[in-house]
Structure 1
Amino acid sequence: MLDVSKSDRLGENLKKLRVERGLTLDRLASLSELTRGYLSLVERGLKTPSIAALLRLASALDVHVAQLFDLNAVPAPHYTLQRAADVAPGEAGVAGLLPLASGRARKAMEPFLIQPPMAGDTKARPIHWAHHGGEEMVFVVSGSITVKLGTEELLMEKGDCLYFSGEERHDLRSVGSRRAEVLVVVSVGIDAAAPATVEA
């Protein structure tokens, strides 16, 4: 889950985009189907939005998720290359969620590199316990995870890949001695605008 208090400027960017569009917190809450209190906490860096919440906010503000992290994200004419050397040391480790290709604003997919919290960590909130429109792919880069998909729990290890409807409620947790690293790709096509439930 993205730790906004330690991440870049997501809360600050969210507020700036909202104000630029002349939206009150109440209006943005209505458009995104999130609560006013939740949005206020996110803007102040006190709440950690899930991927589903980020998708809803981007849709409500008519921007791509990349622009919530980088206001200067612009459409790239051909490709976007993000090198490992461009990522600040420990960035993904601190936040637990790193948006990929964040410099490209117009994408049909939203890719993230995630380090799910440990399964035994009772204080950690679910990284992705929500459902949303579109489809999702989960690929385990390293370590092992459990994926709670609806009422079923799946164990996935390095190299395993899961593809499912984003409308299925889901949660990811690391298992073993260390946090796993997982590539998550969410489609943001027409279906991604379908009603979804986000647990704040």
Structure 2
Amino acid sequence: MADLDLLTRSLARNVKRWRTERGFTLDTLAARAGVSRGMLIQIEQARTNPSIGTVVKIGDALGVSVPTLLDYERGPNVRIVPADRTVRLWHTGRGSYSRLLTGTEASGPLEMWEWRLMPGESSDSDPHPDGTAELLHVTAGELTLTVDGDEHRVPAGASASFEADTPHTYANTGDEPMEMIMAVSVPPVH
């Protein structure tokens, strides 16, 4: 697991870098991301550790992936992420979590996640930018995926894909842990 202070400083540096590169003022980014200007100032000054939802909103508004916002090492074209360097951005006391495994800036941000939801737990997601797609593969248990109010059951061994520009929820309504691998593709910002 990466050091939290290192991630906070990396997030500060990278948000400011991408905001400046895009020509966005703090007010512009705040409006695009739906995050307060004060929160952005605290993030850029490394004075806060924002929620994963806030980081995703900022990444979406900037058109960059979460790994790019948290990246503290720029290296060769091949990037190996050791297991102990993945980033767990969300967790509950009962054992549910999401871990960002890797990501890239291909033609737009592309991220790969590992998720675990304990029985009875769920995670809501705000709509991503138009054109965002998610692919997921359930490796254990059963996922209850709700997209724009419609509920879908995805059992172990099954996969699903959907347009993620609408509200969606990942839930475990079963009695055993649910585990899945998920890829998120966000279109580039022009």
TM-score w.r.t. structure 1 length? 0.65
**Structure 2 stretches of 5 or more lacking a match?**
92-96
What is the match of residue 197 of structure 1? none
Q: Give 1:180 shift.
A: 1.8
Partner of 2:94: none
**2:36 pairs with 1:35:** yes
Distance apart, 1:90 and its partner CA: 9.6
TM-superposed CA distance for 1:16, in Å, is 1.8
Equivalent residue runs for 1:1-200 within 5 Å: 9-20=6-17, 25-39=26-40, 44-49=48-53, 52-53=56-57, 55-59=59-63, 63-74=64-75, 76=77, 79-82=78-81, 86-88=82-84, 92=88, 95=91, 96-102=97-103, 104-106=104-106, 108=108, 109-116=110-117, 118=118, 120-121=120-121, 126-133=123-130, 134-190=132-188, 193=189
Report the identity percentage: 20
TM-score (normalised: structure 2):
0.68
Q: Is the 8 A contact 1:150 1:168 kept in 2?
A: yes
Partner of 1:198: none
In structure 2, relative to structure 1, the CA distance for the partners of 1:149 and 1:87 (3 Å cut) is same
**Structure 1 172/107 Cα, relative in aligned 2: closer, same or farther at 3 Å?**
same
SS of 1:132's partner is coil
- Please, which runs of 5 or more residues in structure 1 have no aligned partner? 1-5, 195-200
Q: Which amino acid aligns with 1:128?
A: S
Kept in 2, the 8 Å contact 1:55–1:65? The answer is: yes
Inter-partner Cα distance in structure 2 for 1:93 and 1:29: 21
Distance 1:106 1:159 in 2: 28
Aligned residue for 1:49, secondary structure, equals: helix
Shift, 1:172, TM fit: 0.4
Q: How many residue pairs end up in the alignment?
A: 174
